Amino acid sequence: MTYLEEEQQIQQTLEQIKQLLQENETIRRFKQIQAKVNQHQGLKDLEEEIKNLQKQVVQFEHYGKEKAKQEALKRLDEANERYKNHPLVVSYREKLIEADDLLQYLTNKIQYQVNQQLEQEGKQ
The pLDDT tens digits of the residues spanning 63-114 come to: 999 999 999 999 999 999 999 999 999 999 999 999 999 999 999 999 999 8
Q: Give the confidence band of 47 by pLDDT, cuts at 50, 70, 90.
A: very high
Q: Is 82 a member of any domain?
A: yes
Rounded Cα distance, 76 and 78, in Å: 5
Residues whose CB is less than 8 angstroms from the CB of residue 24 and which lie 6 or more positions away in sequence, other chains included: 102
> Residue 85 domain-assigned?
yes
Give the CATH number, domain containing residue 46. Answer: 1.20.1500.10
Q: For 43-70, what is the mean pLDDT?
A: 98
What are the residue ranges of helices labelled H in 24-86?
25-39, 41-62, 66-84
Query: Does residue 101 sit within a domain?
Result: yes
Asked if residue 123 belongs to a domain, the reply is: no
